[in-house]
Amino acid sequence: MAEFMTETELRSPVVPCPGTAEERWGRADDAGPLEGHEAAALLECTRAVVDPELHAALESLPGAMRRIALYHFGRQHADGTPATGDAGKAIRPALVLAAAAALGGPAARTAAVRAAVAVELVHNVTLLHDDVMDRDTSRRHRPTAWTVFGVTDAILAGDALQALALRLLAEDPHPAAGPAAARLADCVVELCAGQYTDTNLERGAPEGVTLAEVLAMAEARTGALLGCACALGALYAGAGPGDVAALDGFGRQAGLAFQLIDDVIGIWGDPRHTGKPAGADLAARKKSLPVVAALSTGTEAAAELAELYGTPCVAGDTEGVALAALAVERAGGRDWAQAEAADRMARAVQELSRAVPDPEAAGGLLMLAEFVTRRGS
């Protein structure tokens, strides 16, 4: 299979995806299965298109807000010197651009860059604020913003980034900008409600949580913004309400598939890849999807798991974590999560085919959905 983009194309900051690569934005190679390096190239290409706009937006912030934001995005160290840290995989902006390309071709993709930046900003608002709320100390292999600048500054930077996201759309003369802003704002509300539910589910007893609740929460927390990203791309392509809804559904279902796989990795993932100790979610007694699925089976293994979850995990108790992992597996939590992820992906593909029946045009979106959900296989 030919390389998706040449090295030169990937490096060029101004016209990063010209010629054939540009035309192939929305297309998968139909000669064989989708491959990870094609998706990686698509993501790199997205970064090349989105980063200058994103950077300009961040630079427009006043001093202190700019510094916190640039640190969070990995562009500066805590002392304000330049850095080349990890700014995330740009999945969401890639979905915006791929959806625009799938329904409206290269012109729509170019028009949607600002919306892609807005979605990426909103995603980072949730990261900044969630890290404060969850007291998470590490993000993208660096200390989280609140640990460096304090809680107040991290909250303010998040507030400023939300405003920046919606200002980008408010200043965009494109006819889709208004509906896109309304949709993105709605999505922020859904993300807040999802984080609220998550926090409250984690506070409560494991027995009080149903699988339907955690699935709804995962859809709000993860599916909503992926769906919104795809819907915004569709809006910029001039799509009608049906196609916009189908693209939203595609993103939501792919997001749920991603969350299911992510939760599987949170239990059985290789610490060398996850950067977290094995079974970190179990040690934290997290009510992740496989855990809640296992608990709801009424099996002997479920009872064992419930007992383990009844007391906090002692630091370093690898045996206890291994026992919990085994209990989830014996109760069928792992199998269920993997089957459910496959089912959600199937639904995602079905939604997509409603709006984009041409498999070639749908290729970019499929490639991204496969990429985010493949990590677990």
Give CA–CA dist 244/251, Å, rounded.
11
| Partners of 346 in beta bridges | none
- Alpha carbon distances (Å) from 112 to 125, 157, 175, 202: 20, 25, 11, 37
Q: Nearer to its own copies by C-beta: 83 or 192?
A: 192
CB 122 to its own copies: min, Å: 9
Residues 201, 209: contact at Cβ < 8 Å?
yes
Give CA–CA dist 325/342, Å, rounded.
21
Burial code (b: 16+ CB inside 10 Å, e: under 16) for 110-133 equals bbbbbbbbbbbbbbbbbbbbbbbe
Give CA–CA dist 305/299, Å, rounded.
10
CB 224 to its own copies: min, Å: 11
Q: Which helix (H) or strand (E) holds 101?
A: helix 91-111
Q: Nearer to its own copies by C-beta: 132 or 348?
A: 132
Q: Nearer to its own copies by C-beta: 89 or 286?
A: 286
Q: Nearer to its own copies by C-beta: 187 or 325?
A: 187
DSSP state of 61: S
Residues in the chain: 377
Give the SS3 label for residue 142. Answer: strand
Q: Nearer to its own copies by C-beta: 102 or 164?
A: 164
CB 114 to its own copies: min, Å: 12
Pairing of strands 138-139, 142-143: antiparallel
CB 321 to its own copies: min, Å: 27
The residues that touch its own copies, with contacts defined as CB under 8 A, are 61-65, 125, 129, 132-133, 151-153, 155-160, 162-164, 166-167, 169-171, 177-179, 181-182, 185-186, 188-190, 192-193, 195-197, 199-200
3-state helix, strand, coil in the chain (%, to 5): 70, 0, 25
Q: Nearer to its own copies by C-beta: 172 or 281?
A: 172
